Amino acid sequence: MNQKSAHTFARIPVRERGRGGGLRHVYIETYGCQMNANDSEIIASILEGQGYTITSDPRLADLILVNTCAVRDKAEQTVRNRLKQFKSIKRHNPDLKVGLVGCMAERLKDKLLEEEELVDLVAGPDAYRQLPAMIKDLEDGRKAVNVLLSLEETYDDIEPVHIMSNGISAFVSITRGCDNMCTFCVVPYTRGRERSRNPETILREIARLRDKGFKEVTLLGQNVDSYLWYGGGPKKEFYKQPPEVRASAVDFAELLDRVAAAFPDMRIRFTTSNPQDMTDRVIDVIARHPNVGRYIHLPFQSGSNRILRRMNRQYTREQYLDLIRRIRERIPDIALSHDVIAGFPGETEEDHAQTLSLMDEVVFDFGYMFAYSERPGTAAARLYEDDVPRGIKIRRLNEIIAKQNAHSKARMKNYVGRTFEVLIEGNSKKSDAHWMGRTLQNAVVVFPKTGKEKPGDFVNVHIEDTTGATLLGKRV
């Protein structure tokens, strides 16, 4: 899952507090990936159901919840600094309570609760149903902690309040947790074992979104390709089930096929994929349905087989490139993006060169690129010395970024002169006289308004130019 940091808040409709009391105003701030954004919407739904108001101003809040990411050290430092800012607000509002929720909760609960006294409440990703009771503990003068991980929790009966949506596109979670155990990744320790949602609840949630006017959904999971519903419980228990249960299971290819067929007037996207789990059946479903996005986020992390083994990635460079070949043969207009880590422990200049050469072979449309940062508790932290000097990491990262920027510009130039269906998301950031939308390939398009379209419309746009990151065109 790509980790673009989000620092967001939103309002939901005000509901009066009941006689039982309760914190009146809650401020939610979110950092990290799309999974965290979706979790904030689940939290908002739970709190709204208890009669709470979500405010966009932390100075007005009785409770502040910071939804956190623990995948990279920089994100943790950002959150820690933000908590210190909230602590200064408490000096002027002694009744203010601050809660830490999400992926940082398990790892830093003791330090933040006791050593720095930055938070009053700590809730892990599987404890959100308990938030009303935990807030009651705060009102009674007790600190509240619940970081227990679940083998079953998927929140599939909770309809998220889409506070982080533009009203056009929404995320729909289909799995929680991860079983892959990549040595660099903290997610299995912060989000627990992998489990999948009931497909019927997924279809019902998308139907509600369609009825509310949403035009696009993204099926969301740490690794969507390993989605497997067999009646509930963690994926690791699937092969212990009787033959008739295994035979009736729904995998990701079938789920994607059902969703695309049930909602032909909506765009269907998904993220994130894992190369070891993407099947030809999934590729065929994408090719068969014109409403499924022609865009796959497919992290490769390193172009070196030696480093891939150290990362515990369950594929080789050759297998990854063969998967790319099969995808492009079946879906010629596909756009591809990646995650890559520079400076993993033990990475040599030759390993780095293999990463650059893999990028040259594929020529990705987009990329999410990071320097390795050691995460306490991971296998990499236990097994490997972080032996690549920071200066070398940054130099290698800059070379990766430069190459991806060149590839992105080349890919965008290939779109010039062609006509694409664009879903209008809203005004361009630079001009209210222009719309901004996206193609099926997830490319951003800016074009002049004609007065005959609105956000949520699908329109055809002829691409005339590109800035390198954005396509420019006119409606046809």
Dihedral over alpha carbons 281, 286, 287, 288 (to 10 degrees): 90
Say if residues 6 and 31 touch (Cβ distance below 8 Å): yes
Dihedral over alpha carbons 188, 112, 4, 158 (to 10 degrees): 70
308-350 tens-digit pLDDT: 999 999 999 999 999 999 999 999 999 999 999 999 999 999 9
Instruction: Using the predicted structure, report yes or no on whether residue 164 has a pLDDT greater than 80.
Output: no
> 280-288 and 252-262 helices cross at what angle (nearest 10)?
10
Structure tokens at 181: 């155990």
**pLDDT value, residue 422:** 98
Give the strand pairing for 195-196 and 175-176: antiparallel
pTM for the whole thing?
0.90
In single-letter form, the type of residue at position 358 comes to: L
**pLDDT value, residue 221:** 94
- 16 — pLDDT class (breaks 50, 70, 90): very low
**pLDDT value, residue 8:** 40
Structure tokens at 56: 């966009």
208-244 tens-digit pLDDT: 999 999 999 999 999 999 999 999 888 888 988 999 9
**pLDDT value, residue 99:** 93
* 3-state class (DSSP) for residue 339: strand
For Cα atoms 359, 361, 367, give the angle at the middle one, nearest 5 degrees.
30
In angstroms, the CA 476 to CA 460 distance is 6
Structural domains in the chain plus CATH codes: 25-146 (3.40.50.12160), 165-293 (3.30.750.210), 300-414 (3.30.750.200), 419-475 (2.40.50.140)
Q: Once rounded to an integer, what is the mean pLDDT over residues 184-195?
A: 90
**pLDDT value, residue 71:** 67
Instruction: Using the predicted structure, report yes or no on whether residue 4 has a pLDDT greater than 70.
Output: no
DSSP of 216-240 = EEEEE-TTGGG-EESSSSBGGGGGG
369-426 tens-digit pLDDT: 999 999 888 999 999 999 999 999 999 999 999 999 999 999 999 999 999 999 999 9
Structure tokens at 376: 């306490």
Q: Report residue 69: phi and psi, to 5°.
A: -120, 140
Structure tokens at 345: 């422990």
